[in-house]
Every structure is written in structure tokens, then in C-alpha cells.
Amino acid sequence: MPGFGGVGLQLETPNRDSPTRDLRDHLPSLMSSSYPITLKFIDVCYKVKIQQTNTRGRSIKRMFTHGSTPSDLISTIQEKTILNNITGVVSPGEILAILGPSGSGKSTLLNALAGRHQQQSRAFSGTILANNKKSTKQIAKRTGFVTQDDVLYPHLTVRETLVFCSLLRLPKTLTKKDKISVAEMVLSELGLSKCENTIIGNSFIRGISGGERKRVSIAHEMLVNPSLLILDEPTSGLDSTAAFRLVSTLGSLAQKGKTIVTSMHQPSSRVYQMFDSVLVLSEGRSIYFGKGSEAMAYFESLGFSPSFPMNPADFLLDLANGIKREHLEGGGASISPAT
Ligand SMILES: Nc1ncnc2c1ncn2[C@@H]1O[C@H](COP(=O)(O)OP(=O)(O)OP(=O)(O)O)[C@@H](O)[C@H]1O
């Protein structure tokens, strides 16, 4: 294995009684947020132009067999609205969950919130404010983004991965020893100590589990102590226990003053209960934004309630998918107007 020799790193196995503990005292508190961020997003829209080619009524087969000329094809540009006037707010200490079916716009919204659409400003409109001000470089530096598809080096161990990133990402003002200590603190805060010497691995090389891998991705972002942590589907591929553990970890980060925004496909009911607020997207529109605990009552007031007790997240997803009673007859849950 290549290891770190090439970049001049010495990775000693940590000695529990030595330097790390002392360094904790003089390093800035890593897990607490020194710069709390309240994130507001108002009327966020995202539109893309899609080129559609029309065959002027000729069948594709005929065009292949008889050949086609450019005049047979008409190209039209159509505008597709991916996000339509999405508004919400999330404060330090809170977890905002963005729920919705596949293709409803969750990742697009997260990218917008993380300031990743700013370059293509014609497609994006709306206002995103951090502490009531337009995002600055300072805010961008304080934002961590955990993508759906993490890119980790498969041959490195968990500890090597975090130490390597720590040395690359932390400011020059910290010594090498301090940077290694930061990596070790994150490692233990994210519950990765047990697998610190296991390699990351990939589909060909056996390595850490899916849940541990997600934790490494989060740890990777935690190294720079972000105040705002945005996560795209951090529980995808995890069983419900591992998903619960991971969201519990997010909960404890929120308790330390971080602002957490996460998208989630199918949270279990106990995971759902950990969300402070939820935003439900359906085809790019917001059908609910508010406290997670009040979502069921809100839809009941509109005349929709499940006919038997069910996971609120499943109920909201059914609504976002536009599932009505008639589509569910004969099985599954039925969402019926409340009597
Ligand atoms: N640049 C683009 N051009 C065309 N269509 C796009 C573009 N970006 C996103 N889309 C479409 O917008 C919709 C929303 O995509 P997005 O990835 O945000 O959905 P999602 O809710 O995160 O889905 P999933 O849960 O499957 O990841 C999808 O139908 C996608 O194909």
C-alpha cells in the first residue's frame, strides 16, 4: 500500500495518554460552533433549458432505414422548472430535513443552499441569506457539503484519510501535530475509533461498512469545523438502525450549535422524530415547510389523514407522490380526507 511516505507523513498509532489530550485544551473547540449560522432561503427557483428534437412525425425506424436530413429534425428549446419558489429557514441547533420522492429537486436545492449554483445565475433565482446577509466567502468557508457520492481513497485507512485531509485543509497557523490531533478528535466524535485502522475499500476491495463510510464523509467535512453542514442523502444504503445512529450523530452536532440541512429519501419514524423542521418537495414545489411534529396535523386540517397510524415520513412521501385513495385500493396505506 502506498501509505503516506511519499508526502512525508509519520502516522503513529495514537497514544491515549499523550499529547492529544493536552492539545484538546488549547485547540479551538472543534465541535462547537464559534460562528452560528441562520440560513434563510426565499423564493428559490431553478430553471434549465432542455433541447428537444422532434422528428416531424417520421418514425425513428424509417429515419434510420431511409436516412434523415437535418430538415427532418426540428429542435426546440424548452424550459424546465426544477425548483419553484422554495422558501424556508433553519437556525443553529436545528436539523432541517428535505423530503421528497426521487427527482423532486432535493439535491438541486441543497446545491443552491450551498452556493453551488451561483455561477449559472441565469438558471437560479431567489435569495439565500446567512444571518440575514448575502453569502460571503467567510460563510462558504463555514459551510460543509457532504455529497451523495463520496470520493474517498480506497487504499487509505480511516485514520490516514482524516489525517491526510486535516493536513491539507487546516490552516498553516496550526502545527502538524495540532492538525493530527484535530483529525483524532473528529475520529472519536464521529464514532470511528473502532475502525480507524481499517481501509476505506470499494466494491473490489473489502473495507469499512456503508455506515462507517458515511461517517468518514461527514468527518471529512467536520475537520474544518463548519457552522452549516449540508448533507445529500447521508443515510442512503443504510439499514434503519445505522441510519438512526447516523442521524443521532447529526443531532449531537446540532446540539453543539451547528445548523444541519439534510435530504432524506425514506426516514424511519424514529429518525423523523429527530428532525426539527421538514420541507417536503413534490415536483420542485414545496408542499409543506414547518415543524416535523406538526406536519400530520397540518394535512389533517386540509382533509388528509392516514386511515391507520403510519410513519409520518411515508405519509408525506405518499402525498408528495400525489397518491390518492383510489390508487391505493386493495393494499398499502390509504390517505383519505379526514371526516
Ligand atoms: N441541469 C439539469 N438539466 C436537466 N434536468 C435537470 C438538471 N438538473 C436536475 N435536473 C432534473 O431535475 C429533477 C430534480 O433533480 P434532483 O437531482 O434535484 O432530484 P432529487 O430529488 O435529488 O432526486 P434523487 O432523490 O433521485 O437524488 C430531476 O428530474 C433531474 O433530472
82 lines ligand 1 (CB under 6 A): yes
> Which helix (H) or strand (E) is 314 found in, with range?
helix 312-320
Residue boundaries of the structural domains of the chain: 39-50+76-151+227-321
The rounded Å distance from CA 112 to ligand 1 centre is 12
C-alpha 161/C-alpha 178 separation (Å) is: 16
Tabulate helix, strand, coil % of the chain (nearest 5).
Answer: 35, 25, 40
102 lines ligand 1 (CB under 6 A): yes
C-alpha 267/C-alpha 248 separation (Å) is: 13
How far apart are the two ends of the chain, measured CA to CA in Å? Answer: 66
Q: What is the pLDDT along the chain (339 residues), one digit of tens a residue?
A: 333 333 333 444 444 444 444 444 445 455 555 689 999 999 999 988 877 776 666 666 666 666 666 666 667 788 889 999 999 999 999 999 999 999 999 999 999 999 887 555 568 889 999 999 887 888 888 899 998 887 889 999 999 999 999 999 898 888 999 999 999 989 988 889 999 999 999 888 899 998 899 899 999 998 988 999 999 999 888 888 888 988 998 999 999 999 999 999 889 999 999 999 999 999 999 999 999 999 999 999 988 888 888 999 999 999 999 864 434 333 334 444 443
Q: Which residue has the CA at smallest separation from atom 12 of ligand 1? A: 82
Say which CATH superfamily domain 39-50+76-151+227-321 falls into: P-loop containing nucleotide triphosphate hydrolases (3.40.50.300)
103 lines ligand 1 (CB under 6 A): yes
The rounded Å distance from CA 82 to ligand 1 centre is 7
Q: Are 324 and 335 in contact (CB under 8 A)?
A: yes
C-alpha 140/C-alpha 130 separation (Å) is: 10
Give the ipTM of the model, two decimals please: 0.95
Amino acid identity for residue 258 in this structure: K
Ligand 1 pocket check: which of 47, 78, 107 to mutate, most ligand atoms within 8 Å of Cβ?
107
The rounded Å distance from CA 187 to ligand 1 centre is 33
The x, y and z cell numbers of residue 52, run together, are: 428537444
The minimum-distance atom of ligand 1 relative to the CA of 100 is 21
